[in-house]
Structures are given as C-alpha cells and as structure tokens.
Amino acid sequence: MADPTKDITNFGFRKVIKDNKMHLVSDIFHTVAEKYDLMNDLMSLGIHRIWKCFAIKSSGARRGQYILDVAGGTGDLTAKFAKIVGEKGEVVLVDVNDSMLNIGRAKLRDKGVLGNVYYVQANAEELPFFDNYFDCISISFGLRNITDKEKALKSMLRVLKFGGRLLVLEFSKPIFPLLTKFYDAYSFYVLPRLGKIIVNDSDSYSYLAESIRMHPDQDSLKMMMQLVGFEQVSYTNMSGGIVALHRGFKF
C-alpha cells in the first residue's frame, strides 16, 4: 500500500499536499514582490547586505566564469556577480516566480547591469541547463521555500562543473539560547506586524518565520548536501547562527 505521507510536505507549520506548496509559496511572492527589497532592509536592519557580500567573497567567482543564481529574486547577488565575471562571463538569474523575476530584471536594468545577465523562469528542482555548465551556483534565502530540497540540490549538482562550488545562504538555527528567545519573539510578533504595516500582509511574514523554523539546521543541511553528492561541505555561521552560509564542491 502506498504511503500517503509521501505526498505531504510542510508549508510553514501547516501540512499541505506537495503539489500545492509551490503555488502557495508563489502566491506569497506575488504579493510581496514590489516591496521585497524594502522589507529585507527593514527586517534585517540592512544586515542582509553584509550576509550577501560574504557569500560573494566566498564564491571564488572570477572574470569569464558562468554563474547561476537560483531563486535569485530581485537580483542582489546577480548584480554583484555580473560585475565580477565581466563581459566574457555570464550570470543566469533563475526564479520560479515571474513577479520576482520581473522586479529583478527592471531593478538590474535601472542599475545598468546589461549584456552578461540572463533571466530564466524555472523550478530549481528541474533546472533547464546542460550538465556541468556553471562554475558557481548560489541560492540565497530560497532553499527553504523549495518543496523537494534534495531534488533541487541534485539538480544544482548536475549543472555545476567539476571543481565548481555551490553556495547556500539561508536562515538557520541560532547557537545561543538567549539569542533564540529574542529571535523567536522578533520573528513571531514583530515581523508579521511589520508586514501588515508595509505590505498589508501579515500572513506572508508569519509564513516566513514558520518556514525558517522548519528548515534543516546547519548540520542537517550539511548532511543533506553530502548525501546528494557534494564534497568538502562546510558552513559558516553569521549573526550568531541566525544565518549560515553552506559551501559544497563537485569533484
């Protein structure tokens, strides 16, 4: 007899049918897309920019390389990678949500980021690229929203060149008990109210807090990456473990 639980996944603290999760997540990002960057600055007090800069510095990206920015949203990492790889390189921003993709395209165009950046609407679980194509792949604050994380990681491993690296920048588990209490209070009480004021949507930011709690912790994600085939996997905690950057290589 088939196991019915195999068709169930987490959407925050709720249990939903797997096939429905992508649509539920997509609805959230359609709602918040226009003020996504503003909310990121407000929620993190601008610290998300430091986290992303650290990810870029850890990427090893060089001129002429091919970079894939998965769940790239409004293009913060894409813009930085585009400057590094130059006109002989290539950066592909992939996002499953067309609202986020459109905001990202317009934002980068306004910044003058043209020529070496391409935009693709696609699901991270089934990336539409050749095997062994990219020198580096990044996914920033997107993995926790993916229905089948292992499938997405395998897809990223497939399109990564041998010797290439994956960077996973994601919310994680605070390593200090006192910080955990403060973080929980901020996440479950402040964020939804902030979302209500700025976006007129508290539910999306309640989901944000819940999705972070349901995401694998640092060591669990490290093991997941190793199990799908990444090697030399390591992670660096930032802001006391509120965010972690995981790195893995393909050999």
Q: Which residues fall in the annotated binding site for S-adenosyl-L-methionine?
A: 74, 95, 123-124, 140
**Which residues does 155 contact at the CB level (< 8 Å), separation at least 6?**
124, 125, 126, 127
Q: What are 176's two structure tokens? A: 């200090």
Please tell me the distance from the alpha carbon of residue 90 to that of residue 88, in angstroms, as a whole number.
Answer: 7
Residues in Cβ contact with 15 at an 8 Å cutoff, skipping those fewer than 6 apart: 8, 9
Vertex 211: Cα angle to 210 and 214 (nearest 5): 90
Annotated binding site: 74, 95, 123-124, 140
Backbone angles phi, psi at 65, to 5 degrees: -85, 165
